[in-house]
A and B are shown apart, each in its own frame.
Chain A
């Protein structure tokens, strides 16, 4: 199925949770904040949310800034 991650369309396997998706992307769940369809998903809740076709996911972290 197709999802949009950080503005890029990606193909991922159906039925994965957000935590599984982070693992597939080799991202440390402690180092990113996840927004799923415009709603922030707390770390503890990453296993509770299953990704669906067409979902929009934003994965953010802290970078240098003023």
Chain B
């Protein structure tokens, strides 16, 4: 959907040399059924969709692959290393994903804690350095720590993906200042990944000036995933447009909107 009046020209999102029109990236997990997933992803307008690498089900192979439902010619498949708790495991999954033959991008996750799914930044950096050397375009899922983000950029990551809040929590953007700081200091794209709950979260996140946003559960676990995907598309566009427009300064006291002169005696 395009807006009726576009007053500010935006540049496209470029990650690792690839250009994308949509700043909303979406996951493919946790949908009630595959038909809903396909319709939701179409409604989101996303070009980049994340997928996970898992064992083939030897008994029911025909319908378990996500590629039976999503045409890889129309979507950019971004494989993740979700569920990996060591650098070695994450590298193993990344290499398997690349061998599928679609691209050399990987959404690198090295998880450090089961309850919070927060990243193990030491393992993340270790895996990122090796995978970059192997020619991967690494998009690193990380926390909202500036120093880690800088190290990931130094390691050669194609994008840094700080969380808004823990994966699947739906708590929204907990630390806007840290996200703004990361965006201000990094040169590579900053894509906020994880924690969005509803459209306002996506909008506020994009208003921080980040390059994009990635979400899965907020759409997949909504009561109507297709309708929420549409809302997320609008919110991402609105947040980006508001960032480009530049918000008014905050004031602690009121300022009248109507003239104070010309009042009746």
Q: A-side interface residues toward B, CB under 8 Å? A: 5-8, 25-27, 31-33, 35, 40, 42-43, 58-66
| Contact assessment for A6 and B29 in the assembled complex, using a CB-CB cutoff below 8 Å | no
Minimum distance in angstroms from B87 CB to a CB of chain A = 16
Q: Please indicate the chain B residues that have their CB under 8 angstroms from the CB of A32 in the complex.
A: 56
Residue B248 is within 8 A (CB to CB) of chain A in the complex: no
Residue B64 is within 8 A (CB to CB) of chain A in the complex: yes
Q: Please indicate the chain A residues that have their CB under 8 angstroms from the CB of B29 in the complex.
A: 63-66
Residue B53 is within 8 A (CB to CB) of chain A in the complex: yes
Q: Please indicate the chain B residues that have their CB under 8 angstroms from the CB of A35 in the complex.
A: 96
Minimum distance in angstroms from A51 CB to a CB of chain B = 15
| Contact assessment for A66 and B167 in the assembled complex, using a CB-CB cutoff below 8 Å | yes
| Contact assessment for B99 and A62 in the assembled complex, using a CB-CB cutoff below 8 Å | no
Name which residue of chain A comes closest to B67, CB basis.
A62
Q: Which 5 A-B pairs have the closest CB atoms?
A: A65-B52, A66-B216, A66-B27, A64-B28, A62-B51
Docked pose: A31 CA to B95 CA in angstroms: 16
Name which residue of chain B comes closest to A10, CB basis.
B58
Residue B20 is within 8 A (CB to CB) of chain A in the complex: no
| Contact assessment for A64 and B96 in the assembled complex, using a CB-CB cutoff below 8 Å | no
Q: Please indicate the chain B residues that have their CB under 8 angstroms from the CB of A5 in the complex.
A: 58
- Of the candidates A6, A7, A43, A62, which one forms a contact with B79 in the assembled complex, judged by CB atoms under 8 Å apart? A62
Minimum distance in angstroms from B138 CB to a CB of chain A = 17
Name which residue of chain A comes closest to B52, CB basis.
A65
Minimum distance in angstroms from A21 CB to a CB of chain B = 11
A66-B96 contact given A6-B56, A7-B55, A59-B56, CB 8 Å threshold: no
Residue B7 is within 8 A (CB to CB) of chain A in the complex: no
| Contact assessment for B64 and A61 in the assembled complex, using a CB-CB cutoff below 8 Å | yes
